[in-house]
Amino acid sequence: MQSWFPFIPESASTYSGDVDALYFYISGVTIFFTLLISFVIIFFVIKYRRRNPTEIPRPIEGSMKLETLWSVIPLLIAMTIFFWGAKVYFNQYRPPQNAIEVYVVGKQWMWKFQHATGQREINELHIPVGRKIRLIMATEDVIHDVFVPAFRIKTDVVPGRYTTEWFEATKPGRYHFFCAEYCGMNHSGMGGYVVVMDPTEFENWLSGNANQMSPAAAGQQMFESLGCASCHGANAEGGRGPALLGVYGNNVTLNNGQTARADEGYLRESILNPQAKIVTGFGPIMPSFQGQLSEEQLLQLVAYVKSLSTTKTETPTAKPAPKK
């Protein structure tokens, strides 16, 4: 699609084709209506120009038929756009299973990435082609946003919670990514590159940077150093606090009889605001760790608790994903 002058950015994810198709469709509708209205107006303006300063044209009252026609047709067209857009969006925002997870922390004005295998990067993200990648994103300060034009994805990173975004790159290459939520002085400098690599190349890259501790392992160390283990047991097998094995990804029954799905957001809340949702059979004795952990450390603790669960997430090895 790259002509002498680009009108659309490079298209490098499974999602970008869908977005482009819809974009072209709406463009078609827009061009059609704009031309239609312009032509009709120009035609009328020339044909019915004032020829005599005193002429008074005959009044025309209006027409119910026409009004209906030009309300219903645009409505129908608009609805096709709505449903199409909603469908693509829905799929894009549902978290995929079996994705490679990357932890992302934004802060004024840089991005930190950490792979599940421990590799850390700043303002650059290396990922393998043809695999689902899921970013779990947090921010230390204000709202930021990870925007990769070539993948047609964008999600705000909001303080106080995790947001996620996923994609599957289809073409190796170096793609710009930007912070797309205004965040202060250096907002326009808060970007970098997503480097999409062939599986083998990626494998090499991983092993070339393999000396760092995985987030789950770092989380495990903190689990001991912060004293979590004193209640939850050295291996999180339980004690004064509930066992954390197999919590992630399942439903937890709370003491008020409701259930909550234990996703990353739930784990985050359990650590920062443990009183909010109390597991049935336990008292509200867990202290809050609000203000004692950086977003990165928190993500590591969450990664550790997740690693205790059988709901496996993929590790970023280069095995091609099983194709169905």
Q: Which residues bind ligand CUA (CB under 6 A)?
A: 106, 109, 144, 179, 181-183, 187, 190
- Given candidates 31, 78, 86, 210, which one binds ligand HEA under the rule CB under 6 A? 78
Q: Smaller CB distance to ligand CUA: residue 110 or 321?
A: 110
Phi then psi dihedrals of residue 43, to 5 deg: -60, -50
At 264, list the tokens. 């990353």
- Given candidates 279, 299, 303, 318, which one binds ligand HEC under the rule CB under 6 A? 279
Q: Which does 321 bind (CB under 5 to 8 A by kind): ligand CUA, ligand HEA, other proteins, none?
A: none
Q: CA of 11: how far to CAs of 68, 70, 84, in Å?
A: 40, 36, 19
Q: Smaller CB distance to ligand CUA: residue 171 or 176?
A: 176
Residue 200 sits in the site that holds other proteins (CB under 8 A): no
Q: Smaller CB distance to ligand HEA: residue 145 or 168?
A: 145
- The answer to whether residues 249 and 309 touch, using CB atoms and an 8 Å cutoff, is yes
CA dist., res. 107 & res. 207, Å (int): 28
CA dist., res. 242 & res. 148, Å (int): 40
For 241, other C-beta atoms within 10 Å of its C-beta total 20
Q: Which does 33 bind (CB under 5 to 8 A by kind): ligand HEC, ligand CUA, ligand HEA, none?
A: ligand HEA
Q: In three state form, how does the secondary structure of 102-141 look?
A: EEEEEECCEEEEEECCCCEEECEEEEECCCEEEEEEEECC
Identity of residue 84: W
Query: Smallest distance, Å, CB 157 to ligand CUA?
Result: 8
**Of 28-57, which residues contact other proteins (CB under 8 A)?**
29-30, 33-34, 37-38, 40-41, 44-45, 48-52, 54-57
CA dist., res. 86 & res. 99, Å (int): 23
- Given candidates 67, 285, 288, 319, which one binds ligand HEC under the rule CB under 6 A? 285
Binding residues for ligand HEA (CB under 6 A): 29, 33, 37, 74, 77-78
